Homo-oligomer: A and B are copies of this chain.
Amino acid sequence: MERIVDFIGGESGPWAVRKLTPIIGESLPKVDFISIIPSSSDNPKEGLWRIRGVRSNLRYTEKSEESTLLSVQADLGRPEARLAALIPIRKSETWWKLAQDERREIFEADSGHIKRGLKYLPAIARRLFHCRDFEEQFDFMTWFEYSSKDSDLFEELVAELRETQEWKYVERELDIRLIKI
């Protein structure tokens, strides 16, 4: 996968949308399919909407946490992991005005973002894309892949994160569930 990609919501693509739910704030137009393609600076001809994101360096994860994650996490693209979720979020200006140590404190010491995620590895594979510095309507998108036997586990993970201190800074969140066709 390229570093900068466009998530395109439209009428075709390898992932069929099962459900598109606005969790906080405004929704996006309903679409039937999502495709993930190398980003292009051209205006997209296809699709009802496009969100650009980039895989970037770690922003909060510390070395010891990274080592643990790398030892247990699964890659995207496992054949049995036919279910996916795309969860774009935007955080408030208050969040972005916090200094690095304040954001890290909320992210991990208060909310256990990494620690909570670890419990669901390797069942739930995920990848984070940053959007904020492209002036997109969201700050991040996380893409998750899992098999149908791990559906309940995935529900548990998202429910848990939404209860954290960190989520008080989320001012827009969409939850798109997909299946590989």
Within the oligomer, what is the number of copies of this chain? 2
A74 at interface by CB-CB < 8 Å: no
- Chain A 108-141 interface mask (CB, 8 Å, partner B; 1/0): 0000000000000000000000101111000000
- Chain A 136-165 interface mask (CB, 8 Å, partner B; 1/0): 000000000000000000000000000000
A133 and B54 form a contact (CB under 8 A) = yes
Chain B residue at minimal CB-CB distance from A133: B54
Partner of A63, one of B63, B66, B102, B135: B102
A99 at interface by CB-CB < 8 Å: yes
Partner of A60, one of B58, B66, B100, B134: B100
* Chain B residues whose C-beta falls within 8 Å of the C-beta of A58 in the assembled complex: 99-100
B41 and A135 form a contact (CB under 8 A) = no
CA–CA, A56 to B133, complex, Å?
A: 7
Q: A41-B41, A62-B101, A130-B133 are in contact. Are A57 and B4 (CB under 8 A)?
A: no
A residues lining the B interface (CB < 8 Å): 3-4, 41, 54, 56-63, 65-66, 96-102, 104, 130, 132-135
Query: A56-B132, A57-B97 provided; 4 other pairs, C-beta below 8 A?
Result: A61-B100, A62-B102, A63-B98, A63-B102
